[in-house]
Chain A
Amino acid sequence: MKMLACLKEPRGRIATAVAVAAMLAACPLHAQTSLTGAGATFPYPMYSKWFNQYHKAHPDVEINYQSIGSGGGIRQVTEGTVDFGASDGPMNDKQIAEFKQKRGCDILHFPTVLGADVPTYNVPGISADLNFTPEALAGIFLGRITKWNDPEIQKANPSVKLPNNDLIVVHRSEASGTTYVWVDYLSKVSPEWKQKVGVGTAVNWPVGLGGKGNEGVSGQIKQTPYSIGYVELVYAIQNHLQYGQVRNQSGSFVKAGLASVTAAAAGAAENMPDDFRVSITNAPGRAAYPIASFTWLLIPSKIQDATKRKALVDFLRWMLTSGQNDTAALSYAQLPKQVVAKEQKAILKIQ
């Protein structure tokens, strides 16, 4: 019995987690031209390709990236355990104040690529891409629209006969940047959503089942007739999922794609603040897909180590020029020119 008590799993797991956390905290800090970063998982395939290519072109610089999640990225860059962070959502004012207080300098946001969320569904017998109005999406996720043939959905799809079946909503179970973009959009188009649910990487969902990760959500949708959920665009493209078109601000139904996502960023570029902390959901422009977002690198404005500073600045310049040409191969939408030009200027702020 004593032996059995020692084998108890939960304690063992937590102990492992503590050990792993200790190892992460002890990341190498002062290797000469080795940079470490941590954060968002969504752009990880892109980042790892970039870092790998950059290393091939500049063998003296090695960039090590841990995709531990946006929240973890923000925490680690604030604590100074990594050289840069990465996040799918911009840091809020409180987090920036905390960063300033702990590190004594500013934190700069650099958009790298764009992501988008698409509504995906399983309605037996319907093979056409469905159209969704913002009101329909908000109504469905608030639990007010409960049937597929609700007038709000039907009127946007006049040529399709929608069934009189109950809608089953599927959302992400874990906190994620994908959810952040989705609920950020919903709260912009629906005052009721904004007031009742709000915006965050995880929210208190009024309805629905939770699936883990994009694959969990799409698996759940595949298996559940009459279900609807949202997944990241890259995931939908790579897995050939059927997804719907969404009506944008100027009233046209737009299907998410690399071009329409870049168009959303271009539409938002005019009013872009200097710190790039901007949400581009519900962006203006006829061709703009409304549920899109930047993902950011978080870089301290003061980097003591000159070699590191130079390596990071050089990498950013490379990422904004040649790096942007690699995005399409991995189904990420590239930054519009206006944003790239603005970022080139912002790089000068790194001292």
Chain B
Amino acid sequence: MSTTATLDQGVAPPGGRVVSFRRRLRAGDEVAYLITLIAAGTIFLITALVFYEVFSQSALSRHKFGWSFLITSVWDPVAGTFGALPFIYGTVVTSILGLLVAVPEGIGSAIFLSEMAPPRLSNACTFLIELLAAVPSVIYGLLGIFILVPILERHVVPPLKSAFGWLPIFQGPFYGVSLFSAGIVLSIMIVPFIVSVSREVLLAVPRDQREASLALGASQWQTTWRVVVPNASSGIVGSIFLALARALGETMAVTMVIGNTPQIKASLLAPGDSIASVIANQFTEATGDLYLSALIELGLVLFGVTFVLNGLARILIIATSRKGAHS
């Protein structure tokens, strides 16, 4: 009750509001409001705190290199020259490659599981998919390097090279570890997020909508594609953002298959490096203030990259959904 009293003083209420506040308190509304507010506030606070720490601790590197940090390609801890460009490139390319593979795959299987598969099969598959999401990323990395990379080397890259070898992105020698391998491993890792969330939102589309569409003479596929999917689109988009965020920040699995070579090559078959992976690789042994500061600034850059990519994805989606509405 003492909390009530202090809270009441805070808002300096007339008698009537006290009664209503007490009633709301008893009914649980006010308690729920406060608890959820604290929960939401904590997340905001943590994000702000992390941003602040990363920003302030990277001061040394920010002052020394300025904006050129973002466009320099040399990462030389011995000479004390640090540039983030190859890491930004690797992070963006592998994440986009992962999304390119995972989005059609994930949405396709979510549509199948929610709209077409028999419920029993759907539930069994969903269970398996959620299991996939719980596999630690180091396991994906190991599977990647010992199983996926040899498969890519023997059965995927040779035909790709012979069919699309004229494209610069499929030229040059393939050592197994590469941006391409990292993108494929990422796509496997993020598919469960897309499938699991998309299936739930597809299932949540009201039955009336489907029935109305079918009653108007639409086929099942027309109903699914023109009625159910647009209805669930915001949830599906949400699942893609979640997947993108995971892909951008993935460390362990990426570092094991990306080759850890900070360079920018047009070919996807060349090794590269990513922001999260270089931080994990070098942070523990980093000596010297500037070196540490540069690594922390990479964290800040990852914040920025996530922000920009999320923003671009959002704009892309708004643009395409507007077009859809007009047609």
Interface residues of A (CB under 8 A from B): 1, 4-11, 13-15, 18, 68-72, 74-75, 95, 166, 168, 173-177, 197-205, 208-212, 216, 219-220, 223-224
Inter-chain CA distance A175–B291, complex, in Å, is 11
**B46 contacts A198, C-beta separation under 8 Å:** no
Interface residues of B (CB under 8 A from A): 40, 43, 46-47, 49-50, 53-54, 74-79, 145-146, 149-150, 173, 175-177, 234, 238-239, 241-242, 245-246, 248-251, 255-256, 259-261, 271, 273, 276-277, 280-282, 284-287, 299, 302-303, 306
**B78 contacts A204, C-beta separation under 8 Å:** yes
Shortest distance in angstroms between B257's beta carbon and chain A's nearest beta carbon? 10
**A71 contacts B260, C-beta separation under 8 Å:** no
**A209 contacts B261, C-beta separation under 8 Å:** yes
Q: A175-B282, A201-B285 are in contact. Are A10 and B306 (CB under 8 A)?
A: yes
Inter-chain CA distance A203–B286, complex, in Å, is 11
Shortest distance in angstroms between B245's beta carbon and chain A's nearest beta carbon? 4
Interface of A, helix, strand, loop or mixed by DSSP:
mixed
Shortest distance in angstroms between B78's beta carbon and chain A's nearest beta carbon? 4
Shortest distance in angstroms between A211's beta carbon and chain B's nearest beta carbon? 7
Inter-chain CA distance A8–B248, complex, in Å, is 10
Inter-chain CA distance A313–B259, complex, in Å, is 44
**B177 contacts A204, C-beta separation under 8 Å:** no
Q: A10-B276, A14-B54, A208-B261 are in contact. Are A74 and B234 (CB under 8 A)?
A: no
Inter-chain CA distance A173–B303, complex, in Å, is 23
Q: A173-B255, A210-B259 are in contact. Are A4 and B46 (CB under 8 A)?
A: no
**B286 contacts A175, C-beta separation under 8 Å:** yes
**A18 contacts B306, C-beta separation under 8 Å:** no
Query: What 8 pairs between A and B have smallest CB-CB spacing?
Result: A210-B260, A69-B284, A173-B260, A10-B249, A175-B285, A174-B281, A204-B76, A198-B78
**B260 contacts A211, C-beta separation under 8 Å:** yes
What are the residues of chain B within 8 A of A198 when measuring CB–CB?
Answer: 78-79
**B261 contacts A18, C-beta separation under 8 Å:** no
Inter-chain CA distance A205–B234, complex, in Å, is 46
Q: A15-B50, A204-B76, A204-B77 are in contact. Are A95 and B303 (CB under 8 A)?
A: no
**A209 contacts B260, C-beta separation under 8 Å:** yes
Closest Cβ neighbor of B259 among chain A residues: A209
Q: Specify which of A8, A176, A200, A201 is in contact with B245 (CB 8 Å cutoff).
A: A8
What are the residues of chain B within 8 A of A208 when measuring CB–CB?
Answer: 261
